[in-house]
Amino acid sequence: MANGADTLRSINAILQSGERREQRKVDTALAMMQLASSQESSKAREAMALQQFAQQKRMQEIALTQNNLQTSLKLLESQKPKIASSFVQSSGLSRYYQEIEEGEMADDAITDMAKALSKQMGKGYSDQASQFAGALFNYYTAKDSESMLNIASSLHDATQVINADFKNKTSLATKQQRGLFEAFHKLGATANLQGVSELAKKAKLSEANISKEYSEFLQGDYEIQSPIGIYADIPEAVMNIPPPAPPSLPPTVGSIDETREALKLSQLKLQSLEQKIDAGVATDEEKEEYYALPSSIKRLRIDLYDETGEFEEVIDEEIESNEEKMDAYRRAGLSGMPEFIKLRQKLTEQKIQRNQAVLGMRQEQERESIDEQLERTSELTGISVQEIKEYQEMREGKRVSSSGRMR
């Protein structure tokens, strides 16, 4: 009987051992199925997130294009009167303006100005005299700078062709172009009108390009392909920042770095040009670049904030997904597998990338706030931003030196 009992116990032990092995197999299989299900669910979430990101990115591109067009048009409209004013003063046309007397008709005033201009220019320039007189009336009385800009733009074209004729010994200039060029010479326009006439030409081209891009925008083309700014000397790296890649992919980190680097270069360029302008050694082209850079810096900051926000949103989802995968590995007792170690390293890298991106955005927001305070102080006091910075740095240096911590 003892032998029989021992045999039964041995059989029961063997059966129980087999049951435990089978149970472990079942548990392992269930854990692997859970892991596979978690991975499939994660892939589905990632696919949906990428689709949503693509849709959001498309809407942002449309909004950005619309905003760029509106901003460019506003900038252009604000600059046109300034260009016209500079041209009127530099060319000497302002001397021939006559205010309308009480009860006088507009045509009579324009005729009187045309006569004064014709007297100065001599015979053969009656068409130019009438054109100049009408533009003066529109500019001063109607507050319309278009006619004056058209004259300045045409003068730029005429000057270019006539200079080319002189250089190449050709005769490509038309009769109208020669007449316009000679008319200003007759008026004694001794100032160099090349810079201001070129600005007028760029303004007219920009106006035409903006109109073209608006038309294409309404037809569903949301990519700006034509130059829409007056100022053409801004570096390509500043004006044409490549669109960011999806934040879930490695190139997104590089995209944010590229935007931040372009922003840094623009800020350094602005500071350098400001010093030149304050010293009175800046060229006309450098002044144009200086006045255009703030809008580019603002746009780059918006790009940086948008890219960082999108990156943070997507990478947070990835971090959450990877943490779920790691929990599945742990529950299945697979934390020693190479796949688990690799996933843990990836999760650490993602958290570092997220923190660096957010920190960089916050630092730039602080710089933006300081810049706005400096601009406001400059407007209220009439002191240039550069002078304010230098004075603050000087005071800070004195304060640190007097404290005995630094000499």
Let me know whether 119 and 153 are in one domain.
yes
Let me know whether 174 and 241 are in one domain.
no
Let me know whether 287 and 406 are in one domain.
yes
Whole-number pLDDT of residue 38: 62
Whole-number pLDDT of residue 332: 85
Average pLDDT, the chain: 76
* Boundary of a domain, candidates 190, 215, 230: 230
C-alpha to C-alpha distance for 266 and 255, rounded to whole angstroms? 17
Whole-number pLDDT of residue 92: 86
Let me know whether 56 and 93 are in one domain.
yes
pLDDT band at 36 (very low <50, low <70, confident <90, very high): low
pLDDT (tens digit per residue) in 65-81: 777 767 777 777 888 88
Let me know whether 268 and 330 are in one domain.
yes
SS (H, E, C) the chain: CHHHHHHHHHHHHHHHHHHHHHHHHHHHHHHHHHHHHHHHHHHHHHHHHHHHHHHHHHHHHHHHHHHHHHHHHHHHHHHHHHHHHHHHHHHCHHHHCCCCCCCCCHHHHHHHHHHHHHHHHCCCCHHHHHHHHHHHHHHHCCCCCHHHHHHHHHHHHHHHHHHHHHHHCCCCCCHHHHHHHHHHHHCCCCCCCHHHHHHHHHHHHHHHHHHHHHHHHHCCCCCCCCCCCCCCCCCHHHHCCCCCCCCCCHHHHHHHHHHHHHHHHHHHHHHHHHHHHHHCCCCHHHHHHHHHHHHHHHHHHHHHHHHHHHHHHHHHHHHHHHHHHHHHHHHCCCCCCHHHHHHHHHHHHHHHHHHHHHHHHHHHHHHHHHHHHHHHHHHHHCCCHHHHHHHHHHHHHHHHHHCCCCC
Let me know whether 267 and 386 are in one domain.
yes
pLDDT (tens digit per residue) in 199-224: 888 888 888 887 777 677 667 666 66
Let me know whether 343 and 256 are in one domain.
yes
* Boundary of a domain, candidates 230, 254, 269: 230
Q: Taking residues 85-104, what's their average pLDDT?
A: 85
User: How many domains does the chain contain in total?
Assistant: 2
Let me know whether 262 and 350 are in one domain.
yes
Query: Is residue 58 a part of any domain in this protein?
Result: yes
Domain that holds residue 280: 234-407
C-alpha to C-alpha distance for 59 and 56, rounded to whole angstroms? 5
The C-alpha R_g of the chain, in whole angstroms, comes to 36
Let me know whether 164 and 272 are in one domain.
no
Let me know whether 283 and 301 are in one domain.
yes
Query: Is residue 385 a part of any domain in this protein?
Result: yes
Query: Is residue 36 a part of any domain in this protein?
Result: no
Angle at which helix 106-121 crosses helix 126-140, to 10 degrees, equals: 130
388 contacts 370 by C-beta, under 8 angstroms? no
pTM recorded for the entire structure: 0.45
Let me know whether 162 and 278 are in one domain.
no
Query: Is residue 382 a part of any domain in this protein?
Result: yes
Residue 237 has pLDDT above 70, yes or no: no
Cα–chain-centroid distance for residue 77?
Answer: 19
Query: Is residue 240 a part of any domain in this protein?
Result: yes
pLDDT (tens digit per residue) in 318-338: 888 888 888 888 888 888 888
* Boundary of a domain, candidates 195, 230, 265: 230
Let me know whether 223 and 239 are in one domain.
no
pLDDT (tens digit per residue) in 117-170: 999 888 889 999 999 999 999 998 888 889 999 999 999 999 999 988 888 888
Read off the tokens for 187.
Answer: 């008026």
Query: Is residue 283 a part of any domain in this protein?
Result: yes
